[in-house]
Amino acid sequence: MMRPGLLLPEMLLAGGALTALIGGSFTPRRRQWIIRGLTVAVLLAVIVTASLQLARPATTAFNDSFTVDTATGVARVLAAAGALLILAIAADEIAGTARESETYALLLFATAGAVLLAGATDLLVLAVGFLLASIPLYALIGLAMSAASAEASVKTYLLGALFGILLLLGVSILSGLTGTTGYTQLADRMPEAPQAAVTLAAVAAIAGLLFKAGAVPAHFWIPDAAQGSTALAATFVTTVPKIGALIAVYRFVVMLPDPTPWPVMLAAVATASMTLGNLAAYWQADPRRLLGWSTVSQVGFLLVPVVAAGRSDLALPSLLVYLTGYVVTNIAAFAATAALPAGRDLAHWRGVAGQRPWLAAALLVALLGLVGTPPTAVFVGKLTTATAAWDGGYAWLAVVVFMNTLASLFYYLRWIMPTYREPAPTPPGSDHPPADDRAGRRWSARLAVTAAALSLAAGVVAGPLWDVAASP
């Protein structure tokens, strides 16, 4: 049934992106704040409309190719709210620059792609959502106009092309085997198709979605993008696309037939992502690259409830709760790095707590939150995802979650400890103390504090949040 009103949030995002792209071309640089205001208005409108639809019963649109349910509603709100928070970094970093309006257009297009992925229940819509969520990222990462950002952008493009081909290969095989692209019809017809071909197609499609999520083995672009791009782009690419990609993986695997060994494959990917992300992060000196590897690890944790999909009623609610906590906590951590742009080495953070206590406190909450320390929202997410794995018959995976959570504490402490140490002494023979380059960026600092507070608040109200996530 054609019900275009159900896709109003997606229409707002796409329309806002086009308006920002075209309108920005005719807006003087000194008045680019108008485009920023338009972007804020669009994201607020998306949050409001998505919240209103979240209270309604689940339904579908466009011949069951797009589902509007709790998962889609939460994805819409999280993606729009995450993009809205990230705009605070834009006020510090790109205000008045030559590419300001184009950046807002790319953010809105990529956000639209993420929410389209989250609600897709048709292979063709899934492919469109993948492309819409991926292509803007290549430009966003390259906007820093540096050698590092160019390398990161090319690496992201090449990996995106490779795994995009895999996704389209899976879509082509599945549609060819079954004669349909809708998930409902696929679920009915796949058991009658050759299982070896179905398994191959499923692995290819999931691999494509894992690129968007940033999981092993499609993770190589994440650390480079986090380190080489602007703070705005780094925060966005490690946060918003994950929402749509992980929910898309959940929807896809739920309709696969039982003989397909997808739980074992995803359990292995989750374990590898958690472990490799933690091991690689431990040796990093650049805070943003550390957070890039942390993102790889966090995606591993987020895949744990997907492994339990169809086997535990806790799987989807725990995924949505974890995503909520991850979005605000990850934004808080990256915003702290944006607030102190000169601090591109962990040693530079020595003594920051004494000079900028609120920023240091926000960083502390964010990093301990990513570990999964109560009462932050990520703690609730990790606890419920481990419970979902245990309930779904994957007790060993719950143990892996616990072990990797403990291991992650050590590399976060490498950042926390110098922050709360005494500042470095004045060099001998110097008549004046070293100049303080920690004045930082005002809006980014405020964002770090706000997002850290939201992380704590989401953990405190985890009960009502769970009720929303578990609603049918």
pLDDT in tens, 162-171: 999 999 999 9
Span 86-91, average pLDDT: 92
Nearest of 33, 17, 34 to residue 111 by alpha carbon: 17
Alpha helix ranges (H) inside 340-376: 352-355, 357-371
pTM for the complete prediction? 0.94
Supply the mean pLDDT for the chain: 92
Q: Tens digits of per-residue pLDDT, 38-76? A: 999 999 999 999 999 988 888 988 888 999 999 999 999
User: How far apart (Å, rounded) are the C-alpha atoms in residues 215 and 241?
Assistant: 12
Q: Tens digits of per-residue pLDDT, 254-274? A: 999 987 889 999 999 999 999
Span 94-98, average pLDDT: 81
Q: Find out whether 318 and 305 touch, Cβ atoms under 8 Å.
A: yes
Give the model's pLDDT for residue 440.
62
Span 175-200, average pLDDT: 94
Q: Find out whether 376 and 369 touch, Cβ atoms under 8 Å.
A: yes
Residue 101 has pLDDT above 50, yes or no: yes
Amino acid at 211: F
User: How far apart (Å, rounded) are the C-alpha atoms in residues 323 and 78?
Assistant: 8
Q: How many CA atoms lie within 13 A of 238 on its CB side?
A: 36
Q: Tens digits of per-residue pLDDT, 118-164? A: 999 999 999 999 999 999 999 999 988 899 999 999 999 999 999 99
User: How far apart (Å, rounded) are the C-alpha atoms in residues 388 and 180?
Assistant: 32
Nearest of 40, 108, 46 to residue 78 by alpha carbon: 46
Question: Could you tell me which residues come within 8 angstroms of residue 436 by beta carbon, excluding any fewer than 6 positions away?
Answer: 355
- The CA angle 225-386-321, to the nearest 5 degrees, is 60
pLDDT band at 423 (very low <50, low <70, confident <90, very high): confident
Give the model's pLDDT for residue 344.
85
Residue 432 has pLDDT above 50, yes or no: no
Which DSSP state fits 180?
-
User: How far apart (Å, rounded) are the C-alpha atoms in residues 100 and 35?
Assistant: 8
Residue 425 has pLDDT above 70, yes or no: no
Number of Cβ atoms within 10 Å of the Cβ of 395: 12
Q: Find out whether 245 and 123 touch, Cβ atoms under 8 Å.
A: no
User: How far apart (Å, rounded) are the C-alpha atoms in residues 415 and 392?
Assistant: 36
